[in-house]
Amino acid sequence: MDEAAFMAVKYGIQSGHAILYDQQTKVQWSKYVWERCNIPKHRYILWLTLHQKLKTRDYLNKHCQVVDKMCLLCGNHTEEISHLFFQCDYSRLCLVKLKEWIGCRAQTGNYHTLLRWISKAKHLTKLRRSFYIAAVSALVYHIWRVRNDVLWSSKIWHVNHTMEVIKRELKLRLTVMYKGKQNRDKEWYQKL
């Protein structure tokens, strides 16, 4: 809208909202971050990840000098978000175990593509789709947490320990969300 047309319109809340709303582009990641089944602390880390704002060693090196840019989990590659989720040996193994546990058949190892696959999978019920997104969100959070434990405490969790923590959190969350859901998900839910 040009300035002359803007000045000709009588201002009101509704017209102001329409002007601001028209200028915004719809983002695809919002439905993943704000998924109802996600745990709030997982949402925040996923949000930072999707915005490419996690303070990885590569990110810090662009803003200040970091001596060692190598991944804290594998030590084989520069620590950047694309590597940390899910090209790193540690995170790739966690992703494989998570997909086995929840029964996800997606062949991708990229978190953007994985989330897109989950949101478009026709065979998933609404509950399963929410749970799959929450599982990826939990995995991103816990990989970041393990990375920070290596940095600050010099200890790395075994993949099985990380997966047990994720399973425990997600089962608890699903128990709260499950009440009164469809019977066809009941067998799947009980196998978790």
Q: What is the tens place of the pLDDT at every residue in 8-23?
A: 656 677 777 777 766 6
Q: Look at residue 122 in the predicted model and tell me its pLDDT.
A: 86
Q: How confident is the model at residue 106 (pLDDT cuts 50, 70, 90)?
A: confident
Q: Which residues lie closer than 8 Å to 106 by C-beta, 6 or more apart?
A: 99, 113, 114, 117, 118, 121
Residue % of the chain over a pLDDT of 70: 84
Q: Is the pTM of this model over 0.85?
A: no
Give the number of other CB atoms < 10 A from CB of residue 157.
18
The secondary structure element, H or E, covering residue 142 is helix 126-153
Nearest residue to 106 via CA among 91, 90, 89, 124: 124
Where is average pLDDT lowest: 9-13, 59-63, 131-135, 147-151?
A: 9-13
* 72: exposed, middle or buried (Cβ count in 10 Å: 0-12, 13-18, 19+): buried
Bridge partners (DSSP) of residue 70 are 78
Query: In the predicted model, is pLDDT for residue 133 greater than 80?
Result: yes
Average pLDDT, the chain: 84
* 11: exposed, middle or buried (Cβ count in 10 Å: 0-12, 13-18, 19+): exposed
Where is average pLDDT lowest: 70-74, 86-90, 134-138, 179-183?
A: 179-183
Mean pLDDT score, 176-182: 65
Distance, in Å, from the CA atom of 190 to the CA atom of 42, rounded to the nearest integer, reads: 24
Residue % of the chain over a pLDDT of 90: 36
Q: Look at residue 92 in the predicted model and tell me its pLDDT.
A: 93
Q: Is the distance from CB of 104 to CB of 110 less than 8 angstroms?
A: no
33 or 178: whose pLDDT is higher?
A: 33
Q: Look at residue 182 in the predicted model and tell me its pLDDT.
A: 60
